[in-house]
Structure 1
């Protein structure tokens, strides 16, 4: 525990240098600082400080075999943390960094075992957020940072979410408002040929494939269909993104039949309500009116704009927690573009409990 968690309100477009220095000094002294990225808020520690890195695991309740992501200020930092960097990595970095893409590379000897959970590879990215970049530059070395939430909980998209989980447990939180994407970075292992998608995220697979010039291998666990045999990267093993309530996802083969989807979701919700449970429904704008009177309804947005749906997902899950629901029924979405990311998160949040409509 710490005496008090310092809240630093920093302009997301023009970070105040004096406030960034305060946060950087805390990190350099071995403290933990939650900071905004373009994806979600991260819980940062100086990557070369073993004591601080280990505190991340303790504070989060994170399994020790679940590796962390190194956040860099520039692609020029790559050789300091990785070796045998393939050409495709440089191509992706040149076109897509800063941005919500994490690359899995062979680690250099300078990277702590605790950061990689003992794996011979390291996860790295350059975040596209002025505050994050200013902070890392001020620290002067990589910052290790998973999402700033208790392990297994929905990731934080605003500072208040971080404080819900960590007030009094970490030294500081930088509050720069809501994050842009609302879901974590896409993780691709470029040590393999062809590259392998380990976690879909804010950057659609199709965009990565266009730059890489090759189709990615997409294993079942990357779709949220079960866990990987071991934690190959953050988000590939263990239940993630989960609300406190029990949850189920209703999926269709053909999402053009939204009325059928809504009927199945409504039937499940009403049956749970009849058994005395407080029910929450996660849906889309197109079907929200179907659920009037069944419980707490949260629309993620229109199916025509999956960016909005993905951005709203974690905040909606946390909101249903605050509403005190006992059971959540979520509509599924087509696995195209960011729909793959949304379905990965929904299936994992539900503990892989899926009903085929």
Structure 2
């Protein structure tokens, strides 16, 4: 069921039920992060492997100390600038966080979502919410309540409808070690923005893994259900001339006239990286329902959110 009743959503969560919640990035599949049985229900509903840790959501930076140990002032500097917002902090966890949430790791991911409906919901609760994206594991993340309904509706008693997600891509995940900031996953906050706050370069680390320390680091993730190749579109079109092709262009749709193009979409006609980010998951989901053999995508400019 889709609705906007915060009180009802809170009652379900207090009973150990799952509720899909809106955030500025994507919709999350939420449960009481301190209730192991409730968290297990997340893994089962998503068919998510239990070695892939979850992000814990709370409503204020002052709550972080309840669930994690903060060893560097850089965490507070970044939180002051970007929270609420699409940034997740990997921090040494306190014992109050069950091991199932962190997949046995000694660290936990904490973030404050920038969506008023969910912030108000979190303030109603006496516990934080574990909430990965509200989609079957490995598939494209949902950016509307209807996306959630179409993929997980039968497994969730309630979907809190907060409209279309404003950012549309996942949060940036950072870890502070010895006053150095490591970026574990690229997302809604750019590396350049982080560096402007801390006054030095960040350490970029491998962003995919078969044994992830943070969410979204598996080598196969956000699968749109069709093979994807990224590169020069015209070159790739010539290589796949005998296939039905979908095109995901960045800022210019000049490929519709090609004979083997079945469908083409443009992430941002104005060349806006933020607009492209907002549309990315939604357009990938649209291609799931297209009659194509392969999706060819044009890379975004290698700067900022690109």
TM-score by length of structure 1 reads: 0.82
| Aligned pair partner of 1:282 in 223, 248, 257 | 248
| Aligned pair partner of 1:249 in 226, 230, 235 | 230
Q: Which residue of 2 aligns with 1:7?
A: 2
Question: Where does 1:104-119 land on structure 2 (aligned, <5 Å)?
Answer: 104-119=90-105
| Aligned pair partner of 1:128 in 107, 114, 118 | 114
Task: Provide structure 2 residue ranges, at least 5 long, that are not aligned to the other structure.
Answer: none
Task: Provide structure 1 residue ranges, at least 5 long, that are not aligned to the other structure.
Answer: 1-5, 11-18, 251-260, 273-277, 340-357
| Structure 1 residues 238 and 216: alpha-carbon distance in aligned structure 2, compared to 1, 3 A threshold | same
Q: Which residue of 2 aligns with 1:271?
A: 242
Asked if structure 2 preserves the Cα contact closer than 8 Å seen for 1:266 and 1:290, the reply is: no
User: Distance between the aligned counterparts of 2:276 and 2:270, measured in 1?
Assistant: 7
Give per-residue Cα distances to partners, 1:98-149, cap 9 Å, x unaligned: 1111011110111110111110001001111101101111112210000111
User: Distance between the aligned counterparts of 1:183 and 1:77, measured in 2?
Assistant: 25
Looking at secondary structure, tell me which structure has more helix per residue. Answer: 1
Asked if structure 1 preserves the Cα contact closer than 8 Å seen for 2:255 and 2:264, the reply is: no
Instruction: Give the deviation of 1:269 after TM superposition.
Output: 4.3
User: Distance between the aligned counterparts of 1:83 and 1:210, measured in 2?
Assistant: 25
Q: Which residue of 2 aligns with 1:14?
A: none
Asked if structure 1 preserves the Cα contact closer than 8 Å seen for 2:74 and 2:179, the reply is: no
| Aligned pair partner of 1:141 in 127, 130, 135 | 127
| Aligned pair partner of 1:155 in 138, 141, 145 | 141
Say whether 1:296 aligns with 2:263.
Answer: yes
| Structure 1 residues 231 and 192: alpha-carbon distance in aligned structure 2, compared to 1, 3 A threshold | farther
User: Distance between the aligned counterparts of 2:251 and 2:200, measured in 1?
Assistant: 35
Instruction: Give the deviation of 1:279 after TM superposition.
Output: 2.1
Asked if structure 2 preserves the Cα contact closer than 8 Å seen for 1:269 and 1:281, the reply is: no
Asked if structure 1 preserves the Cα contact closer than 8 Å seen for 2:18 and 2:158, the reply is: yes
| Structure 1 residues 238 and 64: alpha-carbon distance in aligned structure 2, compared to 1, 3 A threshold | farther
User: Distance between the aligned counterparts of 1:264 and 1:303, measured in 2?
Assistant: 24
Runs of 4+ in 1 over 3 A off after TM superposition: none
Residue correspondences, number = 304
Q: Which residue of 1 aligns with 2:193?
A: 207
Give per-residue Cα distances to partners, 1:1-23, cap 9 Å, x unaligned: xxxxx211x3xxxxxxxx21100
3-state DSSP of counterpart to 1:338? coil
User: Distance between the aligned counterparts of 2:93 and 2:105, measured in 1?
Assistant: 9
Q: Which residue of 2 aligns with 1:336?
A: 303
| Aligned pair partner of 1:49 in 29, 32, 35 | 35
Asked if structure 2 preserves the Cα contact closer than 8 Å seen for 1:40 and 1:184, the reply is: yes
TM-score by length of structure 2 reads: 0.95
